């Protein structure tokens, strides 16, 4: 039996995928309301294919509880935030989960850390917890790192098809855990050491963050001299060895906007490019806010409350708001003591910010200017409703005449 610890955006799909492929799984989470929801037959967030996977896992006998189980395999998939001042990882949730596992696990159990951590985190924080509980790593307890590599909006597909990395002290243990993930994973599964597995996951997201920062800096340069950054990137990407990503209103989610800071926090004197790239990405919500004010002045719009932000999530077609650029922009606006912007997102059904709408037509009726922060399918399919509005398109999806860009 596998006990999956933490049933959030990563732990729940992982537990469901294993259960639906013949693995006996019990999912554990300290949040009793979340566990009750799952036991009532409902998922806790929206994701393509998740409800179907949930039903398959239920049919296969998956269980959900707030109690840790006595078993031979644990998968820890809890959040790993970072300190925004020191930029270092906060491993408190991982430490707490491992401590609770140590209270119930038998000798010979394998503890798999799926949570994304900075290189060396397992050595600094996880090994001491295990050893303090009287276990000898390698004989009493096997320790493994198997970082997730999936993205909200495409989790189910990527769990099945993405390649994976298994980090282990022992090749033999690594191969056993590889077989566990091979129960569903159709991608290549590489076995390596723990610190390499830690580093590769963080480096993957750091590479993308730096590429996005380059695109965002290009957008600022082109805005300064009146050039079309999208046309420039399109032409440059025709070169066979160039692949510039698209600029945007900021970077959100719990991977690209967070993981690179782990390296900056641990290696401050060695991460100049990474650190400056993260600052560029973090500056984009302020840049968009300034663009809003510039366009309002140009168009003779004086009432900020008649400006609406379309999109609250950090990316399209999901309900995940973690580190959302829109939330960052709203925080910046509050610091400037400006009147409230209106906000609408079809995926956020509860009120989470001031002046939030839950109907697209009503939202558009009450604004003169629309700022497209997220490229949900809904807005792509309703572009005609933006006719006559002043539009700042931060995602380059609107083909109406007179549209402004970042």
pLDDT for 87: 74
**CA angle, residues 197, 202, 203, in degrees to nearest 5:** 95
**Same structural domain for residues 265 and 187?**
no
| H-type alpha helices, 237-371 | 259-266, 272-299, 325-335, 360-365
Tokens of 228: 């079309």
**Same structural domain for residues 106 and 153?**
yes
Q: In whole angstroms, how large is the CA radius of gyration of the chain?
A: 23
Kindly name the residue from 105, 185, 222, 255 that is annotated as catalytic: 255
pLDDT for 207: 97
Active site residue 255: yes
pLDDT for 151: 85
- What is the 3-state composition of the chain as percent helix, strand, coil, each rounded to the nearest 5? 45, 15, 45
pLDDT for 338: 64
Identify the helix (H) or strand (E) that includes residue 201: helix 194-224
Domain end, chosen from 192, 217, 250, is at 192
Q: Could you give the CA distance from residue 324 to residue 320 in angstroms, rounded to a whole number?
A: 8
Domain end, chosen from 134, 168, 192, is at 192
Kindly name the residue from 63, 87, 178, 201 that is annotated as catalytic: 201
210 and 243 in contact (C-beta within 8 Å)?
no
Query: Is 334 inside a domain boundary?
Result: yes
Residue 355: phi, psi to the nearest 5? 60, 35
Query: Is 199 inside a domain boundary?
Result: no
Query: Is 36 inside a domain boundary?
Result: yes
**Same structural domain for residues 159 and 29?**
yes
pLDDT for 391: 98
pTM reported for the whole predicted model: 0.90
Tokens of 35: 């566990």
**CA torsion through residues 15, 20, 25, 26, sign:** positive
pLDDT for 254: 83
Average pLDDT, the chain: 95
21 and 181 in contact (C-beta within 8 Å)?
no
Q: Which residues of the chain have pLDDT under 70?
A: 337-339
**Same structural domain for residues 129 and 61?**
yes
**Same structural domain for residues 325 and 281?**
yes
Q: In what order do the strands lie in the sheet with 404-405?
A: 356-357, 342-344, 307-310, 369-372, 390-393, 404-405
Domain end, chosen from 153, 172, 192, is at 192
pLDDT for 33: 96
pLDDT for 337: 57
Domain extent for 42: 2-192
**Same structural domain for residues 183 and 211?**
no
Torsion of CA 297, 300, 303, 304, to 10 degrees: -30
Q: Specify the number of domains making up the chain.
A: 2
3-state secondary structure of 230: helix
Beta bridge partners, 203, equal none
pLDDT for 25: 98
Query: Is 212 inside a domain boundary?
Result: yes
């Amino acid at each position: 039996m596998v006990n999956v610890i933490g049933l959030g955006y990563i732990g729940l799909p992982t537990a469901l995928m294993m259960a639906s492929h013949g693995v006996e799984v019990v999912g554990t989470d300290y949040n009793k309301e979340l566990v009750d929801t799952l036991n009532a037959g409902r998922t806790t967030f929206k994701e393509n294919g998740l409800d179907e996977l949930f039903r398959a896992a239920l049919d296969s006998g998956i269980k959900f509880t707030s109690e840790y189980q006595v078993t031979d395999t644990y998968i820890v998939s809890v959040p790993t935030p970072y300190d925004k001042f020191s930029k270092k990882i906060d491993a408190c949730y991982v430490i707490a989960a491992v401590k609770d596992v140590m209270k119930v696990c038998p000798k010979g159990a394998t503890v798999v850390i799926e949570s994304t951590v900075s290189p060396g985190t397992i050595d600094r924080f996880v090994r001491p917890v295990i050893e303090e509980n009287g276990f000898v790593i390698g004989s009493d307890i096997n320790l493994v790192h198997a970082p997730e590599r999936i993205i909200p909006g495409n989790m189910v597909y990527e769990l099945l098809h993405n390649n994976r990395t298994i980090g282990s002290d022992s090749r033999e243990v690594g191969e056993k855990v590889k077989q566990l993930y091979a129960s569903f994973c159709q991608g290549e599964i590489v076995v390596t050491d723990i610190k390499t597995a830690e580093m590769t996951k963080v480096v993957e997201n750091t590479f993308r963050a730096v590429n996005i920062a380059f695109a965002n800096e290009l957008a600022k340069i082109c805005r300064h001299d009146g050039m079309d950054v999208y046309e420039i990137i399109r032409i440059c990407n025709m070169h066979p060895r160039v692949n510039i990503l698209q600029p945007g209103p900021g970077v959100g989610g719990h991977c690209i906007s967070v993981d690179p800071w782990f390296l900056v926090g641990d290696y401050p004197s060695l991460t100049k490019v990474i650190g400056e790239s993260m600052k560029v990405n973090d500056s984009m919500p302020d840049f968009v806010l300034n663009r809003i004010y510039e366009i309002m002045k140009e168009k003779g719009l004086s009432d900020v409350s008649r400006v609406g932000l379309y999109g609250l999530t950090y990316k399209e077609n999901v309900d995940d708001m973690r580190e959302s650029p829109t939330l960052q922009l709203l925080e910046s606006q509050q610091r400037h003591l400006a009147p409230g912007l209106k906000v609408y997102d079809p995926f956020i059904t509860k009120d989470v910010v001031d002046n939030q709408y839950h109907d697209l037509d009503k939202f558009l009726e009450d604004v003169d200017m629309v700022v497209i922060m997220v490229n949900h399918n809904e807005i792509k399919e309703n572009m005609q409703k933006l006719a006559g509005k002043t539009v700042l398109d931060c995602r380059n999806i609107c083909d109406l005449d007179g549209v402004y860009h970042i």
